[in-house]
């Protein structure tokens, strides 16, 4: 059984939801998956057969801890099958939904020492009732400017869950799951 580390950063919990979906998909293919939030633990990829890193965007940036983590473990990450996913609301637009066309993902991948084998971008979720006061004001402004939903009670999940499953399946194939 392949051991996979799936480590992620979440701000409002949506990256956790996506990570849990990916973990369940990989487990259904025979992997043992440790899904760990970077906020709680920065676990080394040593001892794992594969690793996936996921991170959400807040105000145009991945959290600095994500960059520190991938740079700290760049060698270990690159020595086993690996993948990266970014979650951001700009990916809801077709012109910004790939690592090559998404400015936040592209900028992040350019800044880090690790070069993922697989990478993707998922659109995120707008959840105004969940946001703190400052975040609600900022997200209202950002969504207004970018043509997104911005009502005070608005909750919209833009995530293409089939794309999440497809990414998990591609990663499973790159790890040769089920071929032990």
* Domain parsing of the chain, residue ranges: 3-124+159-174, 125-158
Q: Where are the beta strands (DSSP E) in the chain?
A: 3-9, 32-37, 50-58, 61-62, 82-87, 118-122, 125-127, 155-157
Question: Which residue has better confidence, 128 or 118?
Answer: 118
Mean of the per-residue pLDDT values for the chain?
91
pLDDT tens, position by position, 62-85: 999 999 999 999 999 999 999 999
Q: Give the model's pLDDT for residue 116.
A: 97
Q: Give the model's pLDDT for residue 179.
A: 58
Give CA separation, 45 vs 5, 20, 29, 87, 154, in Å.
Answer: 7, 18, 20, 22, 38
Q: What whole-number percentage of the chain has pLDDT above 70?
A: 98
Confidence band for 22, pLDDT divided at 50, 70 and 90: very high
Q: Give the model's pLDDT for residue 178.
A: 63
- Could you tell me the CATH superfamily of domain 3-124+159-174? Flavodoxin domain (3.40.50.360)
Q: Give the model's pLDDT for residue 43.
A: 95
Q: What whole-number percentage of the chain has pLDDT above 90?
A: 68
Interacting residues of 50 by C-beta distance below 8 A, sequence separation 6+: 2, 3, 4, 5, 31, 80, 81, 82, 171, 174, 175
Task: Flag whether pLDDT at 150 surpasses 80.
Answer: no
Q: What pTM value is reported for the model?
A: 0.89
Residue 130 backbone dihedrals phi, psi, to 5 degrees: -85, -25
pLDDT tens, position by position, 92-109: 888 899 999 999 999 999
Confidence band for 133, pLDDT divided at 50, 70 and 90: confident
Task: Flag whether pLDDT at 180 surpasses 60.
Answer: no
Q: Give the model's pLDDT for residue 156.
A: 81
């Amino acid at each position: 059984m392949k051991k996979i580390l799936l480590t992620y950063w979440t701000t409002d919990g949506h990256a956790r939801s996506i990570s849990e979906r990916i973990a369940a998909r990989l487990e259904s293919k025979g992997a043992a998956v440790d899904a760990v939030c970077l906020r709680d633990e920065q676990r080394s990829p040593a001892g794992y057969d594969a690793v996936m890193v996921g991170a959400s965007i807040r105000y145009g940036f991945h959290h600095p801890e994500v960059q520190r983590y991938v740079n700290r473990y760049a060698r270990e990450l690159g020595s086993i099958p690996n993948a990266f996913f970014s979650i951001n609301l700009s990916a809801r637009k077709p012109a910004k939904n790939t690592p090559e066309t998404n400015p936040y993902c592209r900028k992040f991948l350019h800044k880090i020492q690790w070069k993922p084998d697989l990478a993707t971008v998922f659109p995120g979720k707008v959840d105004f009732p969940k946001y703190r006061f400052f975040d609600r004001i900022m997200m209202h402004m950002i969504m207004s400017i970018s043509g997104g939903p911005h009502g005070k009670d608005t909750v919209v999940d833009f995530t293409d869950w089939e794309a999440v499953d497809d990414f998990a399946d591609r990663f499973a194939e790159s790890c040769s799951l089920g071929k032990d």
